[in-house]
């Protein structure tokens, strides 16, 4: 999340940090001295003074956290990863200014924070609010830029979901969500064989977009040519809408859009658990994907929320037609890093694991409408997802992250879906001053999925 306005005012440019050097390094050439990997284009965006972005993740545990054991685990895994043992430094050699990662020594204890919170061991619900308030306060500060850009906050307070929690906060330049999730899994081992990393389904390979491949025969070749032309056309239309958004096309004023300066406001992090089986019931009944269902559920939940807010604040019950609500959807544009590759990276081995921020952007419009048939939300979601898959919009916008930020800014609502085992978390970061009833909005997601699932079963 963005830092406070005072912090951003002081940080006019990327920090130049003086790390300890040996006599040999002092006499080394520039080429030898600056061997660090350049920060990716997306990573440089996250270091912009007006967009100092962090990732905050909460991990719940079944037992209280043993801090000493936790530190030992980090020393054996995470801090061995090059990105988590380096700092971004401005390389001004050869008359060029390049932000590079430079390795430094890591003292893990400097990255462990144990807050003093007054909890009630007999009231898990009040502790939930205590943890929620503490995590929300992290959105107003930033990590220490004089050392590797990550930290863990250990909260040994029981809640209704866990006996304790560890809150990870890391600068977004460390990697995107896919890289960090893969890295986290690479730090774990199988319960039946502690020497092996967890086994996962085969990672995706190939291009982001969907389209038939040429097989044999003239008709197959013509079909491939046609699909390629459609791909180019969709990409052209998407980029044309991108330019139109830059010039005149704006979203409708709604509570989701937020106000000027919302990127600096305190964010509240809330979540709700839904059953992944419910999502799969709809997926199987509709012949679509999990993501298609989630797009439909999101459209339904936002429609319910906005219709209710409109009726509360307007005498006329009729909701304005053609309400435009769009989301900037982040898309992973490279194959997922292999768990074994990342494990080897932390063990010091050489491999070709692709790590970091390699993400593109899509503009996704959510239809704001109340359908009589709840399954129409999923049908629309399926059509939207299919259309976006047949476009190179995400690849085309990879290098334009700064422009996208300027065009759309930071909205009052950020939404994530995270699946684990047989559950799925709906996670939101909201601006309290704009969306004060964030838990009610979560109820809208739960209710929307329930209505859609019941319709799918009948």
Top pLDDT among 57 and 356 is at 57
CA distance 58 to 63: 15
Domain assignment of residue 387, yes or no:
yes
Pair (227, 301) in one structural domain: yes
pLDDT class of 384 with cuts at 50, 70, 90: confident
Domain assignment of residue 227, yes or no:
yes
Q: How far apart are the first and last CA of the chain?
A: 42
pLDDT attached to residue 399: 56
Pair (39, 167) in one structural domain: yes
Placement of tokens 């590079």 in the chain: 100
Highest mean pLDDT among 35-44, 237-246, 438-447: 438-447
Domain boundary among 109, 140, 174: 174
pLDDT attached to residue 26: 40
pLDDT attached to residue 167: 93
Pair (36, 117) in one structural domain: yes
pLDDT attached to residue 192: 78
pLDDT attached to residue 154: 95
Domain assignment of residue 211, yes or no:
no
Pair (231, 154) in one structural domain: no
Domain assignment of residue 228, yes or no:
yes
**What are the pLDDT digits (tens) for 3-12?**
333 333 333 3
Top pLDDT among 451 and 160 is at 451
- The radius of gyration of the chain's CA atoms, rounded to the nearest angstrom, is 24
Pair (55, 149) in one structural domain: yes
CA distance 369 to 277: 26
Domain assignment of residue 192, yes or no:
no
pLDDT attached to residue 423: 87
**What are the pLDDT digits (tens) for 199-254?**
665 554 444 455 555 556 788 778 878 888 888 888 888 888 877 876 777 777 77
Domain assignment of residue 196, yes or no:
no
Contact 104, 19 (CB under 8 A): yes
Pair (126, 233) in one structural domain: no
Number of residues that this document lists for the chain = 458
Residues forming a β-bridge with 168: 57, 152
pLDDT attached to residue 387: 82
Domain assignment of residue 199, yes or no:
no
- In sequence order, the 6+-apart residues with CB closer than 8 A to the CB of 319 are 306, 307, 310, 368
pLDDT attached to residue 94: 64
Domains identified in the chain, total number = 2
Q: How far is CA 375 from the centre of its chain?
A: 27
**What are the pLDDT digits (tens) for 259-303?**
666 766 788 899 999 999 999 999 999 999 898 999 999 999 999
Mean pLDDT over each residue of the chain, to the nearest integer: 76
The CATH number assigned to the domain holding 451 equals 3.30.559
Task: Say what the pTM is.
Answer: 0.74
Catalytic residues: 172
Pair (55, 157) in one structural domain: yes
Pair (266, 122) in one structural domain: no
Contact 158, 124 (CB under 8 A): yes
Pair (231, 133) in one structural domain: no
Cα torsion through 137, 141, 144, 150, rounded to 10? 50
pLDDT attached to residue 14: 38
Pair (166, 274) in one structural domain: no
pLDDT class of 357 with cuts at 50, 70, 90: low
Pair (164, 243) in one structural domain: no
Domain boundary among 174, 208, 227: 174
pLDDT attached to residue 107: 93
Mean pLDDT score, 127-137: 90
**What are the pLDDT digits (tens) for 316-339?**
556 667 788 877 777 666 555 555
Pair (148, 83) in one structural domain: yes
DSSP state of 163: S
Domain assignment of residue 247, yes or no:
yes
pLDDT attached to residue 176: 75
Range of the domain at 312: 218-457
Question: Measuring CA to CA, which residue among 45, 99, 100, 106 is closest to residue 76?
Answer: 106
Q: Would you list the DSSP string of 243-312?
A: HHHHHT------TTT--TTGGGS-EEEEEEEEEHHHHHHHHHHHT--HHHHHHHHHHHHHHHHHHHHHHH
Which run of H or E residues covers position 228?
helix 218-247
């Amino acid at each position: 999340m963005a830092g406070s306005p005072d912090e951003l005012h002081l940080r006019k440019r990327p920090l130049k940090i003086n790390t300890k050097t040996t006599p040999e390094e002092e006499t080394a050439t520039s080429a030898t001295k600056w061997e660090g990997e350049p920060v990716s284009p997306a990573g440089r965006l996250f270091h912009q003074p007006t967009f100092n972005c962090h990732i905050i993740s909460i991990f719940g545990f079944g037992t209280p956290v043993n801090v000493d054991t936790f530190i030992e685990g980090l020393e054996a895994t995470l801090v061995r990863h090059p990105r988590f043992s380096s700092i971004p430094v401005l390389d001004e050699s050869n008359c060029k200014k390049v932000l590079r990662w430079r390795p430094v020594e890591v003292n893990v204890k400097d990255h462990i924070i144990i807050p003093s919170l007054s909890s009630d061991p007999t009231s898990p619900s009040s502790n939930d609010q205590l943890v929620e308030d503490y995590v929300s306060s992290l959105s107003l500060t930033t990590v220490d830029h004089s050392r590797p850009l990550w930290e863990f906050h250990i909260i040994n307070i029981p809640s209704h979901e866990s006996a304790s929690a560890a809150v990870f906060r890391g600068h977004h330049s460390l990697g995107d969500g896919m890289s960090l999730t893969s890295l986290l899994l690479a730090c774990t081992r199988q319960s039946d064989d502690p020497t092996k990393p967890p086994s996962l389904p085969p990672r995706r390979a190939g291009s982001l977009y969907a389209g038939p491949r040429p097989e044999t025969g003239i008709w197959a070749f013509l079909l491939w040519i046609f699909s390629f032309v459609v791909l180019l056309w969709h990409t052209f239309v998407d980029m044309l809408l991108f330019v139109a958004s830059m010039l005149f096309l704006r979203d409708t004023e709604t509570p989701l859009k937020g106000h000027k300066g919302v990127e600096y406001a305190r964010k509240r992090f809330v979540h709700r658990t839904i059953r992944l089986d419910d999502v799969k019931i709809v997926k199987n009944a509709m012949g679509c994907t999990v993501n298609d269902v989630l797009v439909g559920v999101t459209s339904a939940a936002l429609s319910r929320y906005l219709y209710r807010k409109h009726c509360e604040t307007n005498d006329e019950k009729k909701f304005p037609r053609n309400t435009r609500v769009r989301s900037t959807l982040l898309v992973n544009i490279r194959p997922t890093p292999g768990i074994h590759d990342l494990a080897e990276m932390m063990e010091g081995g050489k491999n070709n694991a692709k790590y970091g921020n390699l993400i593109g952007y899509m503009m996704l419009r959510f239809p704001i409408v109340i359908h009589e048939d709840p399954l129409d939300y999923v049908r629309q979601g399926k059509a939207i997802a299919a259309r976006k898959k047949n476009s190179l919009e995400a690849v085309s916008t990879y290098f334009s992250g700064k422009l996208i930020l300027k065009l759309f800014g930071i909205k009052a609502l950020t939404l994530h879906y995270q699946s684990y085992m047989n559950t799925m978390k709906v996670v939101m970061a909201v601006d309290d001053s704009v969306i004060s009833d964030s838990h009610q909005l979560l109820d809208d997601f739960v209710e929307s999925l329930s209505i859609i699932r019941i319709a799918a079963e009948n």
